[in-house]
Structure 1
Amino acid sequence: MLASHIFDIRTEPGFLKAALETFRYQYNHVEVYRKFVDYLKINPDEVTELSEIPFLPIEMFKNHSVSDRQALPELYFQSSGTTRMNLSMHYIADEDLYKESIEKSFGQFIGPPEDYIFLGLLPSYLERQNSSLIYMVDYLMTKSGKPENGYFLYDHAELLELLNTLAGKKVILFGVSFALLDFLDYCTAQQGEKILNASEQLIVIETGGMKGRKEEMTKDELLSILQQGFKTDKIYSEYSMTELLSQAYSLGKNEYRCPGWMKILVRNAEDPFAYEKEGRTGAINIIDLANIHSCAFIATQDLGKVTEDRFQVLGRIDHSDIRGCSLLVSEQ
């Protein structure tokens, strides 16, 4: 089975071999992906490099069931939005595989979940169902088993009080960006009350989520504000999305690293079949080999660049023209 070895990938040849195996499996078993590849007139048997693999536009998850016809879904995740229309749906056929991906990636970049208390400041995600982010944090809390673990909606006073009681303990605060800023605004309004007695042990992991909630700012500006407000350099970031089963982490400076079964390629924003050189900005393509039963090759609408073994996220492509998939997107 393909899933049995993806977490053991250690080399580029090993990754290429696994990616090509996954590509051919999904061509044969994921109908919408097969139609997409056929529409592009690509012969799977002639694909031998990562750059030759077709990447499915992420918008396809909004209009189609991107799933393995031989695997029954165990649960599904749904993207955020103001209405139920045009929300991405990601059907999960192997829940244990997702749990393993969560734990191994977190362990690689942060440490064993059992070592930490987990707090969640994720109001927009808690207020809806089927969030992959909430599932991830729930799972880490379960592995941690600490009695202090918990979520906070808008009760900033309760979160402030708890942080002040956890001095000297290892604490991770997962927070959507706008909620972290709202919390710091609340703390500032408390006439100088000290909020970070636990600052030496506290790690803040921001998960994105500024659109439509606060004035847009760059990632570097956000990280700077959070570092000053929480009085710590340990402002980390997590990069994932509803359509993925893996997470990349940044341990500062907006520089993300992928686990061994995940890779970022940067395509030309105007030509989806051309790739940018290292250090050049373009649109992000993601290979997530944990996505065995949906699609492991996704063309996102994020802008970024790759440098050596790291990548940066620089913003979004707005109103972009999705080439090569208009036929499939229009099908119902």
Structure 2
Amino acid sequence: MKILTVLGARPQFIKAAPLSRVLREDHQELIVHTGQHYDANMSDIFFEELNIPKPDYLLNVGSGSHGKQTGEMLAKIEEIVLDEKPDYLLVYGDTNSTLAGSLVASKLHVPVIHIEAGLRSFNKKMPEEINRIMTDHVSEFLFCPTDTAVQNLKNENITHNVFNIGDVMYDAVLYNKELAAEKSSILSENGLSEKGYHLITIHRAENTDDVGNMKNILEAFSKIEDVKVWPIHPRTKHKLEGYGLSLSDVPNLKVIEPVGYLDMLTLEANAKKIITDSGGVQKEAYFMKVPCVTVREQTEWVETLEEDANILVGTDVKQLLDAVSKEVHPSYKEVFGDGKAAEKIVSLIDNR
């Protein structure tokens, strides 16, 4: 089979690595990189570290409004699909790249494979929620990471070719965890000790586009006495500069450039706690058995909330501080599969 894979953001590169390895054993895969994440630290390094084949098409769409970005992707992906005539178009997650790829394929009658289908935050103000709903409703194969995702699709009357195969990000973590411990020197480079710091990632539009939310987040960070490490997303950095908010006012905060996957796994594995608004980082915290504090009102990864493995705090300063200081001992149940999601996906596509 010829499968056209469309991706464009850091979490998608991570998910693509284990699946591409298995897919290419028996099938032809062409990769379209939209350029949604175009910074070298957010893109190139992931292809290198994860040994993902170089993209066959690089669209260089870059940043912009949702309409502009998605519109450019639609036009460029359509040309590629018409030229390549793939048997399937494969997309991951919930980005604008995902939406554009799935819309093009559905209009050109190319079956869509959606990896990480069925996730719902039930907050339609999040652009990611709209993207994932629309993609699910035009997909031919829907590969879900959890039982909850399967049930969400059933509630929307989507039951055909729906499978819980576990989480491909778990595949990636299991494959790369030991390699990260062996190769990464991120702790020594930044003078960090094991369990001696909190790791921060903030990038979601619901936070970065709201100056009030960002002020609350920084206020909370300034009251956390422990060392804090923040590999800052370029978009977040730009927003803070626009608001006139300075990170130099936050004590014991070490701001670093975005890091590669192996360095990120190392930072996650050795953190005392992880403070994030990222869906992918919430899961990686769970895989690494590190308590997580999520700076959002909802999460699509409801399984992580059990036994306080993950605590939702929104942007309330007191709730965030209480969650960071709370002592928790989650059991971290096996709710994301057995680390063999990629093999199951390819086997199911073959059998159908």
What TM-score results when the alignment is normalised by the length of structure 2?
0.33
Name the structure with the higher strand share: 1
Taking CA–CA contacts closer than 8 Å with sequence separation of 6 or more, which of the two structures ends up with the larger relative contact order?
1
Name the structure with the higher helix share: 2
